[in-house]
């Protein structure tokens, strides 16, 4: 297909009201077909058909995870450029656009409330529950090894949960700050850190998708088993990167891609694991590179999960495994 024909196909795909609404919603971050269907108030087959046309034209990209599929803006190309151009020229005060954003906000608040209810229920037994499916000892040893003998000025632990990482790394930072949106998790974290004598660590109520700009610039940022609770992990990484010092590093620990749908249905997971390619793309958008990658397969469990560790930093290209 020549360039003119390609451009005609892209324009034809974008030139429809529902598809422009979809592009505008995807400008706010990756969304699942299920959520887009709910926001638009249209049938799943119809929304999927519109998304397929956008994807075929290179305006958006699709990522399948088990029974769900996620869509986001294409990373590059003529379609990606046109999608951003088109959304940038939509009237943000258009009643339909305002209604879609209101529904998106309501949906995100509902999802957050469900996640908070889950974390409230499991807060006391969280550390024990987390060990059921992952090789936690090996992961923690790798996190510690990544610090070596270093001691950083500021460590941010985003989605700190029960504060386990702040407790584990207490000898490696002069000031540690943990953020979490669950008050019950934070209550457990405060008790654990007090018992460990980690007076240089503090935890706060906060939203990792809307980080307080008053937070200090960090030398190290941790996202430990956090990203799979979000529809758009890339937004979390980009927001965190804005708080990372010029020589700082971000450590991401999460599951490799898997097919365990029950984790989504019963344990508040939104993504069924994260691939190296996904992390690489999100890191690139945040002007970071993967400088180290390690995977930890399950310890012989029938339904175990592989855990991965990514170290991200600016200005590096030499990924090792």
Q: What is the pTM of this model?
A: 0.69
Same domain, 234 and 141: yes
Same domain, 27 and 165: no
**The tokens 């995977």 sit on which residue?**
295
Same domain, 133 and 69: no
Please state, in angstroms and as integers, the Cα–Cα distance from residue 194 to each residue in 30, 120, 167, 181, following that order.
38, 20, 10, 20
Specify if 98 maps to a domain.
no
Specify if 249 maps to a domain.
yes
Same domain, 140 and 73: no
Contacts of range 275-279, beta carbons closer than 8 Å, 24 or more positions apart = 276/308, 276/310, 278/63, 278/233, 279/252, 279/310, 279/312
Same domain, 287 and 196: yes
Per-residue pLDDT of the chain (321 residues; tens, 9 = 90+): 566 677 777 777 777 888 889 999 988 777 888 889 999 998 989 999 999 989 988 888 887 767 778 788 887 788 888 888 888 888 888 898 899 989 988 887 887 776 667 666 666 655 655 555 566 788 899 999 988 888 999 999 999 988 999 999 999 999 999 999 888 888 888 878 888 888 899 898 889 999 988 899 999 999 999 999 998 999 999 999 999 999 999 999 999 998 888 888 777 888 989 999 999 999 999 999 999 999 998 876 556 788 999 999 997 655 555
**CATH code for position 184:** 3.40.50.150
Range of the domain at 156: 124-313
How many domains in the chain?
A: 2
Same domain, 75 and 201: no
Same domain, 139 and 76: no
**CATH code for position 13:** 1.10.10.10
Same domain, 17 and 141: no
Same domain, 142 and 82: no
DSSP per-residue string spanning 148-195 = TT--EEEEEEET-TTTHHHHHTGGGEEEEEEEES-HHHHHHHHHHHHH
């Amino acid at each position: 297909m020549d360039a003119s024909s390609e451009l005609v196909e892209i324009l034809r795909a974008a030139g429809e009201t529902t598809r422009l609404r979809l592009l505008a919603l995807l400008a706010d971050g990756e969304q699942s077909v299920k959520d887009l269907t709910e926001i638009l108030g249209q049938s799943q087959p119809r929304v999927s058909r519109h998304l397929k046309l956008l994807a075929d034209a290179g305006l958006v990209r699709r990522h399948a995870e088990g029974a769900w599929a996620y869509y986001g803006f294409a990373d590059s190309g003529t379609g990606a450029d046109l999608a951003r151009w088109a959304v940038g020229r939509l009237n943000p005060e258009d009643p339909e656009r305002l209604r879609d954003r209101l529904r998106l906000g309501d949906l995100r608040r509902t999802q957050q409330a469900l996640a908070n209810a889950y974390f409230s229920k499991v807060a006391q037994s969280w550390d024990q529950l987390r060990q059921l499916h992952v090789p936690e000892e090996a992961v923690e040893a790798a996190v510690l090894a990544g610090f070596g003998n270093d001691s950083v000025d500021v460590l941010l632990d985003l989605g700190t949960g029960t504060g386990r990482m702040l407790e584990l790394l207490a000898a490696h930072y002069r000031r540690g700050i943990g953020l979490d949106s669950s008050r019950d998790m934070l209550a457990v974290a405060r008790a654990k850190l007090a018992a460990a004598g980690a007076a240089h660590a503090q935890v706060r109520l906060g939203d990792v998708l809307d980080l307080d700009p008053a937070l200090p610039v960090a030398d190290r940022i941790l996202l430990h088993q956090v990203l799979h609770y979000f529809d758009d992990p890339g937004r979390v990484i980009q927001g965190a990167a804005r708080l990372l010092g010029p020589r700082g590093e971000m450590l991401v620990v999460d599951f490799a891609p898997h097919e365990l749908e029950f984790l989504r249905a019963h344990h508040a997971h939104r993504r069924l694991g994260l691939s190296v390619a996904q992390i690489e793309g999100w890191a690139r958008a945040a002007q970071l590179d993967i400088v180290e990658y390690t995977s930890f397969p399950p310890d012989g469990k029938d339904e175990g999960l592989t855990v991965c560790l990514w170290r991200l930093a600016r200005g590096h290209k030499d990924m090792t495994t």
